[in-house]
Each structure stands twice: as structure tokens, then as C-alpha cells.
A and B are shown apart, each in its own frame.
Chain A
Amino acid sequence: MAREKWKYLVKDFDKMVDTYGLAGNLRQCLACGKCVGDCPAASVSPSYNSRQIIQDVLDGNQKRLLASEEIWHCLWCASCYRACPSGIYFPMLMMQIRFRAVEAGFGLKYFQTYQKLALKAMTEGMTFVPREKGRAKVEKLRSEMGLSPWPEVSDKAKSEYNALFEMTGSKAWVDSVANKPEAPVDLNYSKGRINLE
């Protein structure tokens, strides 16, 4: 496989990704591959490789990392964290890689689903609240088993939840992506790995 040309590499990219400082010391990665061996996402999509992703972050291979489909395959089970002899909290790294990807306009088609869930959660104080039809089903089920038809979430809880969403800038974050165009991806694969021209 041809090595990527140096001009793509971004210096100190690891610090740009892990802005919250939650992922641990990436430079201590031994590249032992235990994380990949334990990864359920890698077992079904071999091109997803957490060791490679850490290497890309360290190398500053921003272009390949953010545009790749692979970063959306992580299941966040944290088996990699458990297996890591260097205490790298890979799930926290993955979360922040996705922040950067969305900022750069990649994976918006996935992000928009989560954005809808988030905006819905704001009015309900709960995540995954179904629409009309599903709502009637939940009410019927809960009544049958002698529970209140709808989970008791107070108006106070809902309004404070919503207010915190705005105050912390989370609303601005999801809104900022609302009408963004999806950035074009020009990656091609050979033997399950991404090539860069």
C-alpha cells in the first residue's frame, strides 16, 4: 500500500481531536491490537480498525480519518477500553472524532437522525419518544399493566432540560449542522483499506 503523502498530515491533530482531554494519552498506544481483537464492530466490518484510527489521529491523517465511513461503525461497547494496556479511552476519542467529522461536513446523513432525536428529547425530557401511533401503543401497554399511561415526567423537568440544552450551547451545535451540505468523499478502497491518491 502506498504511504500517504506528507502534505495531508496535520500537526498536533490529536490535540485538535481530543479537546476535552478525555481519551487518555494516545502517544502511549503500543499498537498491540488488543482493541481490534475484542471489537464487535471490527468482527463484522474488517475495514474498521481502532488501532489504525489511533495511528491516523497521531499521524494527523485528518482527511482520511474524518471522511471515512468506518468511524460511524463503532458500537461504543468499550471493549477496546477494557482491553487497552495503556488505558486509552477509545470510545471518548471516537465521540470527538465524530464531532470533528460533522464539523467538516462528513457523515451528516447519519448525524441528522441523531439531531432529530435530540430535538424531540428536548420537548419530552426523554429520548426515543415515539410519534402519535407509537404513543397510543405505549399508553395502551402501560395502562394494561396498571401503570400510569405515560411515564411521569414533570413540566419542570422538561423545561429545565430544554433550558440546559440551550444554555450549554448544545442547541447551537445541532442547529449549526441543520442545513450544512454533505462534503464530497473521494476515498477509494483496495483490499478493505482506504487509499489516498
Chain B
Amino acid sequence: MNKKRVMSLEEKLPSVPEAIYLFRSCTGTLQYPGVENAIRHICGLMGIEVIMDPDQTCCSGYLLTCSAYLPEFSLAVTARNHALAEKRNLDIYTFCNGCYAYNCEFAHLLEDQKTRDTANQLIGRFGYNYQGRAKVYHVQELYYRLKDRIAEKMVYPLKGLRVAAHYGCHYLLQEGVIDDFDLPTFHEEILQALGATPVYYTERRACCGYGVGKVFTHKEEVVLPHLLNKLSSIRDEGAQLITTVCPGCNVAMDREQPHLSQMGRGEFQIPVIDLGQLIALSLGASPVKLGFNANTIKLDGILEYLGIDKGAQV
């Protein structure tokens, strides 16, 4: 609290980059691969080149927090991934809150000379050298930066669609983020620019409940009761759609809805998609390309409401 946690967007992202090093998220590419296409679609329209590197590996934060990795390993992996981006002179853009938080956090720890030397010694054997030049951003910052240009190019305005935004914990807890942890509003601003109606709900800042492997070990005791509170409050406000910026949160809120429906507080049928997917949809990307088939709760109703043909090809 005594450190500078929030900075203005202009301060953090003074100019729109020409190319970005898109950091592959494991959960994102395996569970909701459409997000990749959405980012490519948005960036393509805005003239930003998207580079994904096959040499990049998992950020290795998740299993560290599950205590299955040691910090030394995660730090070395971060140094390696960052060295790859540095070699291309690019900044890292993540589309997962987990990747964002761990990359930031480990880069912060690597500022310590001793830690950095240890990591460099380890990755030096493969010919890498970490210098700490690459900055870490989340693509949502880019969306916010491009908000007005996105609104200009909009093909399908969202017709007042009631959208509940979920920010996810691991973005907002970091230092140097672009909005306040307790009352962030920049997703709502983006949604408004797209013609949607943002929905404010009681449990808006609550965690998705999937943190550190809880779904594997404490699904009944912790995850489901927690999600039940969260999604009930979203449903009570009459939201038609939920947006996330983290594939992990997306899995939690989308995949668990059938289980929540069996818990005696009524039916849950609210589709959950990535904010990028919603932006790309309104920018005219086809639903096939955005991969809505991957979702447990189908988007047919939303596409019908917006007047978009769900089988439309690119």
C-alpha cells in the first residue's frame, strides 16, 4: 500500500507498439484458443504485428504457488522467456492474468543482482542472457489504449447487451497497473465504447475461486460455494454475458456453471468469454474463428441478440 500501485495509461503505455511478443498462455491456448484469433484480429485491424514464439514455455507460476516447483526454477524460466523477447527487442504482452502477474513478480525479484546472476548462470548454458529490458503488459491495457479506434471500426454495436466484467485478482494486485484494485472501471469503459451496458454486481471484485489448484483438491468445500456467491450476484443483476481477461477465470466461471445449477439456487446459463473475443466479435470477426464452440455455456442467444450469423465464415 505504501508503493505506487496505480499509474496512468499514458505513463504505462506511452505509445501503441508496432509489434508485440504475445506470451502463450497454457490454459488459453488449450481451453479457449479463440482468444489468440481475437487478439490477432484486433491487432491486425490496428496495424500491430503479433509474434508468438515457439521457444517460449509456460510462465511456471501456477505450479510454484501449488508448491510443486521451487522458486529457483520459476525464476530461471522467467529469465529465459524474457531473454527470448529481449532478443527480438519486443515487449511481452500476456493474455492471461496469471502469466501477467508471475512475469511481473519474477521480473521484480530478478532485479536483485544475486538472484539475477543465479538465473543467468542457469540459462547461460543454453546461450541466453537476461537483462531485464523487456516490459510486461497485459493485452487489456492495449484494448483500453485503442478504445476509441476500436469504437470507430465497430461493425456490430453491442445494442445495450448487459455485460458483467470480471477483472481477476492477479492483474490488479500488481504494482504499476492502470486501475484501482477496489473499484476498477476500465473494462466498463471499453464495454460502453462498444455499445454494451456494463453491469455492476456485488461480488464484482471477488476471486474466481480457481486459485492454486483448488479445483483439483477442494472443489466441493471451497470452489463451488465461492462461485455460487459470485455467479448468483451476477445473475441477480440480469447480466446476459460475462467477460474475463484470464483464461483461468474463464474456465472457472464457464465450466462450473452446470455444477452450480445442481446446488439448489436455480439455473445458471450465462456465457463467459474473453474481453478480447467480445471486442473482436463487434469488430466483425466470425464466431467460428473466435472459437465459441469451446465454451460450455453456448453463445447462440447472444449471437442472435446481436444479429450475427453463428456459422459465418471469415
Contacts and interface: CB of A to CB of B under 8 A. Distances in A.
Contact of B173 (A81, A126, A157): A81
A152 interface: yes
B175 to A, nearest CB: 11
Interface in B91-128: 109, 122-123, 125-126
A10 interface: no
A66 to B, nearest CB: 12
Interface string B209-230: 1111110111001100110010
Nearest to A73: B222
A114 B36 contact: no
Interface stretch (B42-50, B51-59, B150-158): B51-59
Interface residues of A, number: 65
Contacts of A117: 63, 66, 68, 213
B222 A114 contact: no
Interface string A72-109: 11111111011011010001000100110010000001
Contacts of A190: none
A146 B314 contact: yes
B73 interface: yes
B289 A146 contact: yes
Contact of B26 (A79, A111, A128): A128
Chain B interface SS verdict (over half): helix
Contact of A127 (B62, B229, B293): B62
B30 A161 contact: no
Given A74-B211, A76-B211, A164 B77 contact: yes
Interface of A: 20, 22, 40-41, 43-45, 72-79, 81-82, 84-85, 87, 91, 95, 98-99, 102, 109-111, 113-115, 117-118, 121, 125-130, 138, 141-142, 144-147, 151-154, 156-158, 160-161, 163-165, 167-170, 173-174
Interface of B: 1-3, 24, 26-27, 29-31, 33-34, 36-37, 52, 54-58, 60, 62-73, 76-77, 80, 109, 122-123, 125-126, 169-170, 172-173, 181, 206-207, 209-214, 216-218, 221-222, 225-226, 229, 288-291, 293-294, 314
